[in-house]
Amino acid sequence: MVYSSRSLWSETATSDSPRHILTGSHRADVVIIGAGFTGLRAALELSESGLSVVVLEAGDVAHGASGSSGGQVNPIPPFNTPSQFRRLLGTEYAERLTNTYIQSADDLFATIKKYQIDCQARQNGWLRVFHSAKALRKEEVCVKEWNEHGAGIEFIGRSEIERKSGTSAYHSGIITPQGGAVQPLSLSRGLAKAAEQRGVKIYSKSAVLSLDKSEGKWTAKTSIGSVLSDWVIIATNGYTGDLIPGLSKSIIPITSIQIATDPLPEETIGSILPEGHTMSDTRRVIMIARREPDNRIAYGSHGREFGNDTIGGVEWLIKDAERVFPQLRGVNWSYRWGGKVALTEDRLPHLHEPKPGLLVGLGYNGRGVAISNIMGKVLAKRVLGANPNALPFPTSPIMKIPFRSLKKTLEGPAIWFLRLLDYLESR
């Protein structure tokens, strides 16, 4: 069944300033394409250093995943471990990237505090629960590696899981203390406000149609305007188009959907995540859950996004939420919405510099709230003169994902198959 989208974040976010469409010719030191977490953090860092910055957004601020994500600030990546980083990148980059991930949540919360951003930020820890004994054995190896680098992850057993989460569906889990949650649309608007207060110009409904370089300068053209600049940053992540040849083929956008309840009475919600942890599990088709300050529950997983602002997969998500939290049976799920997550082939964030003065940062693989902000800061450092070899992300060539079209076509059947495997393991 297909549902019309209704976003909890849109209805509860802090107010936003009206913005204009780009018209006429302009000049800036840096043009940033995309007003999500990556682009806004880069704009803020650059403006703090005295550069003139123009941000061009095809929709409104945080129109894509930044304003529709689950809002969990999870610092540890879902796929790779420090040893896998070493295999993929070598020792030096692996050390940098490991430390970057561990520090990513703290960095974001420090940024929120520095700029006094009103986004319901809370850093109460991230609870990750294991759906099977096999998952537990795998995580024991992963946690050991991360803790050797100072992650401070703690194992907890069934009784503690049930007390902290309110569910008996999982027999063990871990707590990562740096984790937390934000209202992601409010965070995006807060970053935009802080950037604009420092001179950044943000234009909405100003999709860039062409990008050309002549005599050492870049020209970004929209339908009725243009900006001449020394540098261009592409920060479009899962909504990346064909502006840069091959870039959209280097990621696979998948849809993450969320559902949320109305505020619930204490007798219904009282036992669910009572200490304010965010929560996710280790299934292949992952679930995420969080309790809002006004006693709503938000719950998310994979789904489908159709045209005309509609989504699919809501029925399965409600059924799964009621399985994990029987307390929620029969409640009204008033909100449902989705956004695109960008997956890379190696499950690493990608930093590209395809031409002098042109930078790209994308591919956060389900950890975008924290690591995209780091990417924005890193892109700004590169513009300001940092040696590419000294950055935490290696500068890599744009590589098309093999059999990408086939993988996208098979996404739906693959999700159902993975759900079956998760079910069999859970039993």
Residues 56-73: b if buried by 16+ CB within 10 A, e if exposed: bbbebbbbbbbbbbbbbb
CB burial class (10 A; 0-12, 13-18, 19+) of residue 54?
buried
CB burial class (10 A; 0-12, 13-18, 19+) of residue 416?
exposed
Q: What is the pLDDT of residue 79?
A: 86
What are 363-366's contacts with CB under 8 Å, separation 24+?
363/237, 363/250, 363/251, 364/237, 365/77, 365/78, 365/79, 365/341, 366/78, 366/256, 366/286, 366/341
Q: What is the pLDDT of residue 416?
A: 83
10-residue stretch averages of pLDDT, the chain, 427 residues long: 93 95 98 98 98 98 94 93 96 97 98 98 97 91 96 95 96 95 98 98 98 97 98 97 96 95 97 98 93 97 87 94 97 96 96 98 95 98 97 97 86 84 82
Could you tell me the CA-to-CA distances from 234 to 67, 258, 274, 380 in Å, in that order? 18, 27, 40, 12
Kindly state the helix (H) or strand (E) to which residue 89 belongs, with its residue range: helix 82-89
Q: What is the pLDDT of residue 42?
A: 98
Q: What is the pLDDT of residue 386?
A: 98
Kindly state the helix (H) or strand (E) to which residue 301 belongs, with its residue range: strand 297-302
Q: What is the pLDDT of residue 414?
A: 83
Q: What is the pLDDT of residue 427?
A: 72
What are the pLDDT digits (tens) for 121-180?
999 999 999 999 999 999 999 999 999 999 999 999 999 999 999 999 998 999 999 999
Mean pLDDT, rounded, of the chain = 95
Q: d(Cα 189, Cα 333) in Å, to the nearest integer?
A: 26
| Residue 219 CA, distance from chain mean position | 29
Compute how many other C-beta atoms are within 10 angstroms of the C-beta atom of residue 164. Answer: 20
Q: What is the pLDDT of residue 176?
A: 97
Q: What is the pLDDT of residue 139?
A: 92
Q: What is the pLDDT of residue 305?
A: 83
Domains, in order of start, for the chain: 2-397+404-426 (3.50.50.60)
Q: Helices then strands (H, E): number in the chain?
A: 12, 21
Q: What is the pLDDT of residue 423?
A: 81
Q: What is the pLDDT of residue 395?
A: 97
Predicted TM-score (pTM) of the model is 0.96
